[in-house]
Amino acid sequence: MMQDTMDTPQSDMASDAYLKQLKATFEQMPNDIVLYLFTAKGHEDAFTHANRQVIRAFRELSAKITLQEYDLDHELAKKWNITSSPTLLIAPEQYSIRWLGAPMGEEARTFLELLILVGLGKSQLSDQSLNVIKKIDSPRNVKVFVSPTCPYCPQQAVNAVKAAIELPQFVSLEIIDIQSEPELANQYAAQSVPQAFANDVLIGQGAQPEEVFVLSLQKLETRTIFIPDSDAELVETDLLIVGGGPAGLTAGIYAVRSGLRAAVVEREALGGQIATTPIVENYPGFTSVGGKTLVDIMVSHALQYVQIFQGEAVVDLQPDKPIGVLTTRRKFLTKSVLLATGATHRHLNVRGESRLSGRGVSYCSTCDGPLFRGKKVVMVGGGNSAVTEALHLFHMGVDVTLIHRRDKLRAQDFLAKQLADSNIPVLWDTAIEEIRGEERVEEILLVNNKTNQTDTFKTDGVFIAIGYSPALELAEKLGVEVNEDGYIKHDGKHRTNVPGVYSAGDVEGGYKQIVTASGQGAGAAMTIFEDLINPYWLN
Ligand code: NAP
């Protein structure tokens, strides 16, 4: 049947309902939210313009949000020691939180959460985080470098916002848009986002679970693990899904629709690899869609059914009955576990790579690409990812050269043709032997795989997209077997060798496409439902 053109599209209705809900949330808040925007006199740059636009949009939601604007030479700028344009202060009478740049793109999510927390006057830190943060008894000057295109950044920026709201007497925070403040980013050699510093010490590269961030802030060093106290909240489920990529999200939808009590735990950004895929052109129903847009659609669909615990890392699993799963925040007792842990990007394993990671070496062109506009970079790899990302960098104005170890691309012909049409230079049969630079990437040492001839190549950045390795850490903890290719071994219906433990998505290997990962998630959820009704391990 044809759609009645007078109907309101479903998406408009959904966003109307969302706006209504947001307005009601702000109405119930006890506090006014006062914003101060400081700008250089007569200087209207893109960031100032964006600030005004974003703030105007939020002010339409609530009269509680007010904005006052001043020039940088105003006495308030001196009082608060503001030297950079634009600088946005948020409720400066209560907190020390400032934004250098503007809350654009992904960062609008951080800004919304920030306004809500300030309006509530509460940090909403978890009990586990509160136990740690109360040990801080001296100042922490926190800087979080972010960019509008980085889907990992809001998690880390919000962690810092919560700390600044919880401990205003000790924690001061600057959220710094790396494109608006290139000199400051340079000073900290911060060339990937997010990066968090406290008292000028790097405490976190990438997004950390909240409790890990708070512990790093307290200890003033990068921590990677947090074990919760024994009083961690207990949650009972039929199915716990570890991983919030397309496999995990689809499994959540199918499981709850079957009647199972299910939850998804994801330590980083939802969507897995798609969250940082610039453009997806082979997911049915979408001729061309931004990876992050597709993730947002999938997540809002999944949220209609399944509870998602984002920013929470699994730290331990016990294959008892029920299976115990300890995260950084709570303990799940569950009848079954689905490992949809995906894959982590491969490293080149050459000299200089790890030392210069975040200093010009990057694994995320979506996050870090904009920092290299007008600069020279190389993209390493010959698969779909490397070619898609090289095209993405090229289209955003980065001078990119592709480096591939063979003389033929692994990427699909369609992408190879786009690469050739755009005249992106390719160094064939070439490998990187070393990445060099003092504070940041300056040059690479190359070797020709056919002639063995070596050469140096000046570059500002090295983007690496050479495939993924399955994320098996949790599978190993549970004693799950892997196959000869190193992926989780299963019986064709996603059952592993450990009763009650299943797999889906890239951790199982196979075609590694978004659509196949979703299919694996759906299949696994249906097997789990059948098994819980009629447990095969009792037969
Ligand atoms: P991939 O298909 O495994 O390709 C990895 C590339 O990196 C290969 O060209 C490989 O070279 C090269 N490589 C591997 N190890 C290397 C090393 N140590 N040094 C130098 N080069 C190295 O990985 P991917 O491109 O990330 O794709 C992963 C999966 O996602 C694939 O299934 C792909 O189809 C899918 N994907 C699809 C799309 C799309 O359809 N638009 C986009 C992105 C990803 P060799 O060729 O010599 O082996």
Alpha carbon of 246 to ligand 1 centroid (Å):
19
Q: Residue 348 CA: which ligand 1 atom is closest? A: 18
What separation in Å is there between the alpha carbon of 412 and the centre of ligand 1?
A: 10
pLDDT at 18: 80
What whole-number distance in Å separates Cα of residue 461 and Cα of residue 319?
Answer: 44
Q: How far is the CA of 410 from the centre of ligand 1 (A)?
A: 7
**For residue 138, how far is its CA from the centre of ligand 1 (angstroms)?**
47
What CA–CA distance (Å, rounded) separates 159 from 323? 30
> Whole-structure pTM over 0.85, yes or no?
yes
Report the share of the chain in percent with pLDDT over 70. Answer: 97
Fold entry, domain 31-219:
Glutaredoxin (3.40.30)
Atom of ligand 1 nearest to the CA of 513: 35
CB atoms within 10 A of CB 375: 14
**Pocket test residue of 351, 384, 444, 520 for ligand 1, highest count of atoms within 8 A of CB:** 384
User: Cβ contacts of residue 477 below 8 Å, gap of 6+?
Assistant: 316, 317
The single-letter code of the amino acid at 279 is: I
Q: pLDDT tens-digit profile of 439-489?
A: 899 999 999 999 999 999 999 999 999 999 999 999 999 999 999 999 999
Atom 9, ligand 1: which residue's CA is nearest?
382
What pLDDT is recorded for position 12? 62
Report how far ligand 1's centroid is from the alpha carbon of 411 (Å): 7
Q: Which atom of ligand 1 is nearest to the CA of 511?
A: 32
pLDDT of residue 482: 97
10-residue block means of pLDDT along the chain (539 residues)? 43 73 90 95 85 91 93 94 95 97 94 96 96 97 95 96 98 95 91 95 96 98 91 94 98 97 96 92 94 95 97 93 94 97 96 95 91 95 96 96 97 96 98 96 98 97 96 96 96 96 96 95 98 76
Interval between CA 162 and ligand 1 midpoint (Å): 38
DSSP letters, 88-147, are: EEESTTT--EEEES---TTHHHHHHHHHHHHHHT-----HHHHHHHTT--S-EEEEEEE-
For atom 31 of ligand 1, the residue with the nearest CA is 512
Mutate to test the pocket of ligand 1, among 466, 468, 506, 514 (most ligand atoms within 8 A of CB): 466
Which CATH number among 3.40.50.970, 3.50.50.60, 3.20.20.80, 3.90.1300.10 corresponds to the domain 233-344+469-538?
3.50.50.60
Q: Which of 385, 403, 427 has most ligand 1 atoms within 8 Å of CB, for mutation?
A: 385
Distance 475 CA to ligand 1 centre (A): 24
Residue having the nearest C-alpha atom to atom 46 of ligand 1: 410
**Side-chain-side CA neighbours of residue 99 (13 Å):** 29
Which pLDDT value is given to residue 191? Answer: 87
Ligand 1, pocket residues at CB < 6 Å:
281-282, 346, 348, 380-386, 388, 405-406, 410, 465-468, 512-513
Residue with CA nearest ligand 1 atom 3: 467
**Distance of CA 519 from the midpoint of ligand 1 (Å):** 21
Q: Which of 378, 403, 409, 410 to mutate to test the pocket of ligand 1 (most atoms within 8 A of CB)?
A: 410
Smallest CA separation from ligand 1 atom 19, residue? 348
pLDDT for 6: 40
Q: Give the model's pLDDT for residue 30.
A: 94
Atom from ligand 1 closest to the CA of residue 282: 40
Read off the DSSP letter of residue 346. P
For ligand 1, atom 29: residue with the closest CA: 512
Fold for domain 361-464?
Answer: FAD/NAD(P)-binding domain (3.50.50)
- 256 SS3 class: helix
The one-character DSSP state at 3 is P
Residue 449 confidence (pLDDT): 97
Q: What is the dihedral of CA 486, 242, 213, 201, to 10 degrees?
A: 20
What's the pLDDT score for residue 366?
A: 86
Question: Using CA of residue 124, residue 117, residue 107, residue 213, what is the dihedral sign?
Answer: negative
- pLDDT tens-place string over residues 349-381: 999 999 999 999 999 998 899 889 999 999 999
Give every CB contact of residue 139 below 8 A, 6+ residues apart in sequence.
170, 171, 172, 199
At residue 8, the pLDDT reads 46
Query: Which residue lies with its CA nearest to atom 48 of ligand 1?
Result: 410
Q: Please give the positions annotated as active site.
A: 364, 367-368
Let me know: does 90 contact 133? Beta carbons within 8 Å.
Answer: no
State phi, psi for 444 to the nearest 5 degrees: -125, 150
| Residue 518: predicted pLDDT | 98
Predicted pLDDT of residue 303:
97
User: Hey, whose CA ends up nearest to atom 18 of ligand 1?
Assistant: 348
